[in-house]
A and B are shown apart, each in its own frame.
Chain A
């Protein structure tokens, strides 16, 4: 059973479109992180959210942590080809050891 479910698995959109992707779990997380991985590279941290209901913005990217700290969303406004990549969410399960739990990721392709 996957602890963190990400949806959709694949998304292909035109430049300029908006999109929202999701990271869901039945477990409570003390914090949740989003990473972006470009082809042939390692994942790079985008943001960490720690408080239920928290919203963080990174330029055109808006991240929200659910009120119950079980889920998160990533909204991209006016997507650009440079946003193409694999988006991973990762959570620190409350009370668990120091390992993060990763979702399988969302592959986003933005066509020029």
Chain B
């Protein structure tokens, strides 16, 4: 069964901590994405990647960075966590232009 795996379902971090969210896909997909989902705001794209070592900013990249050293792994980094980054984070992958996304189960991050 093909899947996208996010390393944690729930995380609680303190303000100012550096936070790493890991995402791994086993489908050899070219594209990977990080979204955050908040009530009333829908899915908002943070960063995406079309290829290894390649990244592009989405709609809300401020306060985040990403790393894609291997094709199957896409990491989201919160350099200095803040309470307004409390959210549901979703990773997704797709094989190419217009293709459907496969999502991970999400990471519920709480910053206190």
**A interface residue numbers (CB < 8 A to B):** 30-31, 33, 35, 40-45, 48, 88, 90, 92, 97-100, 102-105
Q: Do A98 and B98 have beta carbons less than 8 Å apart?
A: yes
Q: Could you tell me which residues of chain B, from 81 to 112, have a CB within 8 Å of some CB in chain A? A: 90, 92, 94, 96-106, 108
Residue B54 interfacial (CB < 8 Å): no
> Which residue from chain B places its CB closest to the CB of A47 in the assembled complex?
B100
| Chain B positions within 8 Å of A43 at CB level | 90, 101, 103
Cβ contacts under 8 Å, A30 to chain B: 98
Q: In the complex the two chains form, is A97's CB within 8 Å of B97's CB?
A: yes
Point out residues on B near A: beta carbons under 8 Å: 4, 31, 33, 40-43, 45, 48, 50, 90, 92, 94, 96-106, 108
Q: Given A40-B106, A98-B50, A98-B94, decide whether A45 and B42 contact each other with a Cβ distance below 8 A.
A: no
With A41-B105, A42-B104, A43-B103 as contacts: A98 and B43 at CB distance below 8 Å = no
If the complex has contacts A40-B106, A41-B106, A42-B90, are A100 and B101 also in contact, measured as CB distance less than 8 A?
yes
